[in-house]
Chains A and B, each alone.
Chain A
Amino acid sequence: MSLGTSENNYELVSGLEIHVQLNTNTKIFSADSASFGALPNQNISTVSLALPGSLPKLNKEVVAKAVRIGLALNCTINQINHFDRKNYFYADLPKGYQITQDSQPICINGFLEVELADGSTKKIGINRIHLEEDAGKSIHDQDENYSLVDLNRAGVPLIEIVTEPDIRSAEEASALLTEIRKLVRHLNVSDGNMEEGSLRCDANISIRPKNATDFGTRCEVKNLNSMRNVRRAMDFEFSRQVEVVSAGGKIIQSTLNFDADKGTTSPMRTKEEANDYRYFADPDLPPVSISDAWLAEIKSLMPALPNEIWRQMVADFGISKADAALFAEDLSLLAYFNRALPNVKNKKSLINWLVGPVRAILSERGISIANFGVKPEQLAEALNLVDEKKLTQQIAIQQLLPAIENHDTEDVVKLAESLNLLISTNSDDLDGYIDEALQKYSQQVEAYKKGKKGVLGLFVGEVMKLAKGKADAKKINELILEKLK
Chain B
Amino acid sequence: MNLDSKTIYKIADLARIHIEEEDVEQLIPEMNKILSFMEKLNELDTTNVEPLVYMNDATNVWREDEIKQEISTTDGLKNAAKHNERFFMVPKIIEK
Q: B68-96 toward A: CB 8 Å interface, digit per residue (1/0)?
A: 11110100110100101011111111011
**In the complex, A284 Cα to B51 Cα: how many Å?**
15
Q: Are B87 and A150 in contact (CB-based, < 8 A)? A: yes
Asked if B93 and A57 make an inter-chain contact with CB atoms under 8 angstroms apart, the answer reads no
Proximity bits, A267-310, B CB within 8 Å = 1, else 0 = 01100010010100101011111000000000000000000000
Closest B residue to A150 by CB, please name it. B87
B70 near A46 with CB under 8 A, answer: yes
The closest CB in chain B to the CB of A145 belongs to B92
Interface string of A73-113 (1 = CB under 8 A from B): 00000000010000101110000000000000000000000
Across the two chains, which residue of chain A brings its CB closest to B15? A89
Interface pair B59/A33, CB less than 8 Å apart: no
* B34 at interface, CB cutoff 8 A: no
B37 sits at the interface (CB 8 A): no
Q: Is the CB of A146 within 8 A of B66?
A: no
Majority DSSP secondary structure for residues of A touching B:
loop
A42 touches B73 (CB 8 A): yes
Chain B contact residues, majority secondary structure: loop
B10 touches A59 (CB 8 A): no
Tell me whether B88 and A286 are in contact (CB under 8 A): no
Does B67 sit within 8 A of A, measured CB to CB? yes
Per the bound structure, the CA–CA distance linking A31 and B70 in Å amounts to 9
B88: contacting residue among A41, A58, A268, A283, CB under 8 A:
A41
Is A40 interfacial (CB-CB < 8 Å)?
yes
> How many contacting A-B pairs (Cβ < 8 A)?
128
A283 touching B71, Cβ below 8 Å: no
In this complex, the interface size class of chain A, counting residues with CB under 8 Å from chain B, is: 35 or more
Out of A43, A62, A143, A289, name the residue touching B59 (CB < 8 Å): A289
Once the chains are docked, how many angstroms separate the CA of A25 from the CA of B66? Answer: 7
Q: Does B53 contact A (CB under 8 A)?
A: yes
Cβ–Cβ < 8 Å partners of B65 in chain A: 24-26, 59-62
Among A33, A89, A278, A283, contact of B67 (Cβ-Cβ < 8 Å): A33
Let me know if B63 and A57 touch, CB within 8 A: yes
B64 at the interface (CB under 8 A from A): yes
Q: Choose from A32, A58, A87, A289 the contact partner of B68 (Cβ within 8 Å).
A: A32
Indicate if the CB atoms of B76 and A147 lie closer than 8 Å. no
CB distance from A25 to the nearest CB of B (A): 5
Could you jot down 20 A-B contacts, CB within 8 Å?
Answer: A25-B66, A31-B66, A31-B67, A33-B67, A39-B73, A41-B86, A43-B69, A45-B69, A46-B70, A49-B76, A62-B65, A87-B14, A140-B92, A147-B90, A147-B92, A148-B87, A273-B10, A287-B59, A288-B59, A289-B59
Q: Which residues of B contact A (CB under 8 A)?
A: 10, 13-14, 16, 51, 53-56, 58-71, 73, 76-77, 79, 82, 84, 86-93, 95-96
Where the two chains meet, the residues of A that have a C-beta atom closer than 8 Å to any C-beta of B are: 24-26, 31-33, 39-46, 49, 51, 57-63, 82, 87, 89-91, 138-140, 143, 145-151, 268-269, 273, 276, 278, 281, 283, 285-289
